[in-house]
Amino acid sequence: MSERPPFAFDPGVQLERTALAWERTGMAVAAAGLLFVAHVPRHLMAVLVPLGAGFVIYGIGLLAWSARHYEDLHGRLPEGASVVHVGSVRVVGMATAVFAASALVLAVLSL
């Protein structure tokens, strides 16, 4: 992790707004996982409860990562380094798609 400078580099607070967007996403992921766990039909609990619980844990992890990433970019941004984190974007995109697909399958199986 880069050393944090003593002042905010970005006068438009883009970094802070983006960090908050990551945090809101982490909160939304954890809340969606809790909703999923709370409304799983009894006959599908063995499969879907671990999936929903995994999503809650992943949301908590995303919150922790977003705080670390914010601190890290404080140092890297003034150096002109790329602010893009492709791995996180891929993981979040795929995990959300898996969650949405699981909810759709759950809905169809519950018909």
Partner 1 sequence: MTDADPGKRLPATRWWHFAFPPDPRRSGHEPDYRFSFANERTFLAWIRTSLALTAGGLGILQLLPSFLGREILGILLLGLGLLAAASSYRRWAIKEQALRAGAPLPPSRLQGTTALGVAVVAAVALVLIIIEL
Which listed residue (6, 7, 46, 107) binds partner 1 by CB under 8 A?
Answer: 107
* Residue 99 engages partner 1 in binding (rule: CB under 8 A): yes
Query: Cα–chain-centroid distance for residue 71?
Result: 17
Per-residue x/- marks for partner 1, 34-73, CB under 8 A? -xx--x----------------------------------
Per-residue x/- marks for partner 1, 8-37, CB under 8 A? --x-x-xx-xx--xx-xx--xx-xx--xx-
Q: Which of 29-57 are b and which e, b meaning 16 or more Cβ less than 10 Å from the residue's Cβ? A: bbebbeebbeebeeeeeeebeebbeebbe
Token pair recorded at residue 100: 């949405």
DSSP string over 23-52: HHHHHHHHHHHHHHHHT--GGGHHHHHHHH
| Residues contributing to the site for partner 1 (CB under 8 A) | 10, 12, 14-15, 17-18, 21-22, 24-25, 28-29, 31-32, 35-36, 39, 77, 80-84, 86, 89-90, 92-94, 96-97, 99-101, 103-104, 106-108, 110-111
